[in-house]
Structure 1
Amino acid sequence: MADFRRLPNLTALRAFEAAARHQNFSRAADEIHVTHGAISHQVRALEAELGVQLFTRAGKRIALTEHGQQFAIALRRSLLDIAIATDVVKAATGHRRLTISSLSSFAARWLSPRLGNFIEQFPDIEVRLQSSTYLTDFAREDVDVAIRFGQGNYPGLAEEWVMDDYYYPVASPHFNGGKLPATPQDLVRSALLRCDLEPWMPWFKAANVALPEPTAGIIFQDSTMLVRAAIDGQGIALTRHGMVSSDVASGALVRLFDVTVKCPSSYYFVCPPASLQKSQVKAFRDWLFCEVAKWKAADSGQLHPSAAAAPP
């Protein structure tokens, strides 16, 4: 049986974890609302109790030692387990909160318009949707689940493939006075819009057209802004199907040609394994996969059937 009397002072552990994460005593002090001196004192007391040096110090600069790095990883994992257990207990009393992190474009264009349905089904769950282009650090952030757009393989986390996505060009029906390009080669005379890190070249190759990668015009950092620019008639955009399928269905955008290119990244449902114990996480996971299935079934042939197939 574990002897919990051997545990270091919990205040010192919290101070060390914050200092290790920030690599800075002052920022750690700001986070937990104490003085710089208090953080330094707690860390030194912890080092004395453990009998090892956790940080190297050079003036105001600090860096984790090898022992410090190992201890910080183990401590962060334990604190995350405590936070999750706390949420589970709170849920048992009737209070349920769900924090979702998602790529900004997916949150705005696909997830957010559907979340009202989730809230109707689960009115007792308080939902917070965070949009970010950065990967969620579950050990540091108050997030239950994330929808990630990537390659999968997230060590230490539970993950499930949700769906793939596909690129194709779209334009406003009013672009160029309604005279839209008839063939992919006609794109050479059009203003081509694109997002950062989402080049046109793979689609050009699939369409068998010898066009160079566009270098003029705006490079958008977010797909939501790219779609808005296309709807406003600023040019022809290379977009993901998940971002524009509703606009194509409504007629706000017109899909050009029948060529699609599979995105190198896919959408994944990701969370710490312990979070799967939370009833609100289970509810959201089941709802999400149900919504994806309904969306694919209602897609009305906008995309070829292979878009609904899971990767091998």
Structure 2
Amino acid sequence: MRERLPTFQQLRAFEAAARHENFSRAADELHLTHGAISHQVRALEQELGTPLFLRKGRSVKVTVDGRKFAQVLAKAFDDIAAGADALRPGRGRGGQRLTVSAIPSFAARWLAPRLGQFIEQHPDIEVLLQASGHMQDLEREAIDVGIRFGRGRYPGMKVDRLMGDIYYPAASPAYRGGALPRTPAELAQATLLRSNEPWLPWFRAAGLALAEPSGGVMFEDLSMLIRSAVDGDGVALVRHVVAMQEIASGQLVRLFDIATPSPDDYYFVSPPGAADKPQVRAFRTWMLAEMAAFAAELRLT
């Protein structure tokens, strides 16, 4: 049977291409060319006698059989990696790896500064933190935990709500030479910075009949929005968990006492196959405790 196995190069190229559903991204990951990935996948399809991708122009979509095969390969590669890790110095005595994916703003501003505490409590766990704004397929990409900000609808996943968040306007103390808006109505004359989070719910809470701002730059990453506000470019509608460092340091000033709850919450999401790993259980327990303490301190529920 082993003599009939496809080559490792073919399997590795296909698994990466199926995981990304993109030959160029697979090539970047494996430090190969797009053509090399395409060649290895074609050779594997000929070897197996079945197409693994549906091709339409430059786009590719993995077939149903291809997806099933990719999942088999992903588990096999994980087993190989775990076996190799167990042989490395310091790995054979219970060392475990935990892969966590979190949205960039949360990863950089809340999670990363606290991870040292978790590692101190669990020195045998190696944490690989990935900051990504994309909704990855956690199972396909072998990610143990995803910290997500949304409505909690993650079919097939084990999901725990962590906490909510609030929005309020903030600006640099140097904005317009320090002449900050003194009342919500004065925002009508201010430069309002835009992100994917709409201003309208806050306008309504403040009793303002203003239209949703338009034009200018639309910031998809809240860290960039906050940076622009710190630079004095305008007034930003910020999410507290993301902006609290700048508020505490005085780089940003919260305007008014009006806040609106976010319609989205933070969630701890894990694939069923990873949820029972000891390192995932330990991280879940730590995250729930950290978030509960943080939410209680800020009265966020």
Which TM class, normalised by the smaller chain length? 0.7 to 0.9
In 2, distance between residues paired with 1:96 and 1:169?
42
Question: Does the CA-based 8 Å contact 1:15-1:42 persist in structure 2?
Answer: no
Q: Deviations over 1:151-192 (max 9, x none)?
A: 222222222111112211112233333332222111112121
In 1, distance between residues paired with 2:185 and 2:72?
58
Give the corresponding residue for 1:9: 5
Aligned residues: 289
**Cα displacement (A) at 1:101:** 1.2
Q: Secondary structure at the match of 1:298?
A: helix
Matched, 1:73 2:67: yes
Q: How does 1:289-300 map to 2 (within 5 A)?
A: 289-299=288-298
Q: Secondary structure at the match of 2:162?
A: strand
Q: How does 1:1-312 map to 2 (within 5 A)?
A: 9=5, 11=7, 17-18=15-16, 20=18, 31=30, 37-47=39-49, 69-82=63-76, 90=86, 93-195=93-195, 197-299=196-298, 305=299, 307-308=300-301
Question: Does the CA-based 8 Å contact 1:157-1:270 persist in structure 2?
Answer: yes
Larger radius of gyration: 1
Greater shift after overlay, 197-206 or 251-260?
251-260
- Identity of aligned pairs, percent? 47
**Cα displacement (A) at 1:35:** 7.2
Paired letter, 2:270:
C
Distance 1:237-1:62 versus aligned 2 partners, 3 A rule:
closer
In 2, distance between residues paired with 1:96 and 1:250?
37
Paired letter, 1:9:
L
Paired letter, 1:204:
F
**What is the RMSD computed on CA atoms of the aligned residues?**
3.4
Greater shift after overlay, 148-157 or 17-26?
17-26
In 2, distance between residues paired with 1:87 and 1:277?
19
In 1, distance between residues paired with 2:138 and 2:271?
7
In 2, distance between residues paired with 1:294 and 1:147?
17
In 1, distance between residues paired with 2:221 and 2:292?
26
Question: Does the CA-based 8 Å contact 1:161-1:269 persist in structure 2?
Answer: yes
In 2, distance between residues paired with 1:78 and 1:198?
39
In 1, distance between residues paired with 2:17 and 2:81?
25
In 2, distance between residues paired with 1:216 and 1:27?
33
**Cα displacement (A) at 1:113:** 1.6
TM-score (norm 2): 0.79
Query: Which stretches in structure 1 are left out of the alignment for 5+ residues?
Result: 300-304
**Cα displacement (A) at 1:134:** 0.6
**Cα displacement (A) at 1:221:** 2.5
In 2, distance between residues paired with 1:201 and 1:223?
18
Paired letter, 2:152:
G
Greater shift after overlay, 218-227 or 284-293?
218-227
TM-score (norm 1): 0.77
**Cα displacement (A) at 1:97:** 2.0
